[in-house]
Amino acid sequence: MELNSASSTSFATEVLAAKLANNQQEMVAQQAMQLLESAAGAAPAPASLNLGANIDTYA
């Protein structure tokens, strides 16, 4: 069985496209992990529980 030039080029193009898509998915996953890791380390300090509990009113 012999592949003609057009079908082998088409197959090679499909393989290249699949490889590029896979690389893109891996990069997006890596960026998402970096974002999650950076967000986990930047937790804000807990607010004071009694902040705003006393309201001064003057007539």
Residue 57's pLDDT is 81
Specify the higher pLDDT residue, 52 or 28: 28
pLDDT-derived band at 1 (thresholds 50, 70, 90) equals very low
Number of domains in the chain: 1
pLDDT 10s digits, 19-40:
999 999 999 999 999 999 888 8
Q: Would 4 be classed as within a structural domain? A: yes
Residue 56 has pLDDT above 80, yes or no: no
Q: Would 55 be classed as within a structural domain? A: no
Q: Domain containing 22: what range?
A: 1-40
Q: How many residues comprise the chain?
A: 59
Q: Would 47 be classed as within a structural domain? A: no
- Cα gap 10→2, rounded to integer Å: 15
For residue 42, the SS3 value is: coil
Q: Would 56 be classed as within a structural domain? A: no
- What is the CB neighbour count within 10 angstroms for residue 34? 10
Q: Would 24 be classed as within a structural domain? A: yes
Residue 47's pLDDT is 67
Q: Would 53 be classed as within a structural domain? A: no
Angle 17-23-29 from CA coordinates, rounded to 5°? 135
pLDDT-derived band at 6 (thresholds 50, 70, 90) equals confident
Q: Would 50 be classed as within a structural domain? A: no
Q: Would 48 be classed as within a structural domain? A: no
Select from 34, 54, 50 the least CA-distant residue to 42.
34
